[in-house]
Amino acid sequence: MTWKLFGEVLVTMLVILDPPGNVPIFLSVTRQLSAKERHRAATIAISTAFLVIAMFAVGGQTILDYLNVSVPALQGAGGLLLLLVALQLLYGKGGDDGYIEASPEQRTSIAMVPLGTPLLAGPGAIVAVIVFFGEADTAGQWFTVLAATAVALFVSWLALRFSGVVTRVVRPAGVILLARVAGMILAAIAVQMIADSVTSFVRVASKS
């Protein structure tokens, strides 16, 4: 294992994943879940994110090339999906987030989308691992990239797993307020992703 590479990947992924920043969004999206379901959702979200990131790390560029999909297109799609979730948090029907009538299994599935991807395993994380894997020359360096990514996701899991502490501090009324704030933050993230996608398309078009 190359410790310098490990440190570079770990720091990069922690900055992209932003574990503390995802806590309000996680609490908002899962506030209709019980504590047990929320803990399970955290595990599913992190597992989904790791599987998606690992898949793109190993063959991401090949997959994108085969489907004739560019990274900006992937970024724009992720931004649109997050924007829909943000609008649901801001203007949820029935005064909540729209998951009230769903079964526990259906409500927990939100851990995969949008939490696992594209919130955690978003375009930023995917592009980062594709770049790191592209620069890796040996199997040991590939393992280092995946190991550092796993550690970063573990830190994110700790933040989500113990996010219930925030719920006990702010109480239900505070969680509703967090939902609205998280909706605005998530909307801003989504708009930025879409803007970056459009900028990339314009830059490519201007060069051609």
Q: Can you give the pLDDT at residue 96?
A: 46
For the chain, give the mean pLDDT: 84
Q: How many domains does the chain have?
A: 1
* Cα torsion 102, 22, 155, 159: sign: negative
Residue 144 vs residues 6, 53, 83, 111: alpha-carbon distances, Å: 6, 14, 33, 27
Which of the listed ranges 6-15, 56-65, 67-76 does the model predict with the highest average pLDDT?
6-15
Q: Where are the alpha helices (DSSP H) in the chain?
A: 3-17, 19-29, 35-67, 71-90, 104-108, 123-135, 139-161, 164-207
pTM of the model: 0.78
Q: Name the residue with tokens 């996608």.
A: 197
Residue 38 CB neighbour total at 10 angstroms: 23
Indicate whether 19 belongs to any domain: no
Asked whether residue 13 is assigned to any structural domain, the reply reads: no
User: How many other C-beta atoms lie within 10 A of the C-beta of residue 89?
Assistant: 25
Please check whether residue 3 is in contact with residue 137, taking contact to mean a CB–CB distance below 8 angstroms.
Answer: no
pLDDT tens, residue by residue, 108-139: 688 898 899 888 998 889 989 988 998 888 99
What amino acid is encoded at 43 in this protein? T
The residue range of the domain holding 142 is: 3-8+25-202
Q: Is residue 14 part of a domain?
A: no
How far apart, in Å, are the Cα atoms of 50 and each of 53, 149, 174?
5, 8, 31
